[in-house]
Amino acid sequence: MSIRSSVAVILICGFTALSLAQAPPESPKPGPEHKKLEYFLGTWKTEGEIKANEFVPAAKFVTTDTYTLDPGGFYLEFRRAEGQIIPRMVGIVAYDSHAKVYTSYYANSAGLVGIGTGTVNGNTWTWMVEDKVFGKAVKGRTTVTIKSASQLTSKYEMLDANGRYVTIVEGTSTKVAP
């Protein structure tokens, strides 16, 4: 190898090393859509009512949900304690920056697994949900309305055979711990 070739190789290696030694790209930061999720942080007690439907009889219930934020601030993890008639549940709620929609993934101790997509309009969160209830595919809509810093109402409606939403569950949640 000639001196010229050796110098060229050394220069190429040097420039390559310099370009690789640059600082790595900065980690992404949560945006305003992610920050909206922080409202739900903490422990919430929900008191509500299940309306009689094809799956279960009417009943009143009380649940406790706890929401925690991932260390990066991009998603919430939630856990619902098992109640008298409400099954235990776990899930993740996140904002999908690419699809520009909130997304929820959840599973409960009765075998229900679902996915929902959500939007926010003022103080109202609307979630379109696809579930399997006792093996039957159902479509639902959950509406969450923020009433104050420590209270919200929620309503779950299921699409019936006529294409109308029928209220299945309604409740009021109160934050009991930050």
Tens digit of pLDDT at every position of the chain (178 positions) = 566 555 554 545 555 554 555 666 788 899 999 999 999 999 999 999 999 988 889 999 999 999 999 999 999 999 999 877 889 999 999 999 999 999 999 999 988 888 999 999 999 999 999 887 777 888 999 999 999 999 999 999 999 989 999 999 999 999 999 9
Q: Strand pairing partners for 63?
A: 46
Q: What are phi and psi of 86, to 5 degrees?
A: -100, 125
Residue with tokens 């008639």: 85
First-residue to last-residue Cα distance in the chain = 70
Query: Would you state the pLDDT for residue 61?
Result: 93
CB contact at 8 A, 99 and 115: no
Distance, in Å, from the CA atom of 76 to the CA atom of 49, rounded to the nearest integer, reads 25
State the pTM of this model: 0.82
Structure tokens at 171: 């409740």
Could you give all domains of the chain from N- to C-terminal order, each with its CATH number? Answer: 30-177 (2.40.128.20)
Q: What are phi and psi of 50, to 5 degrees?
A: -95, 130
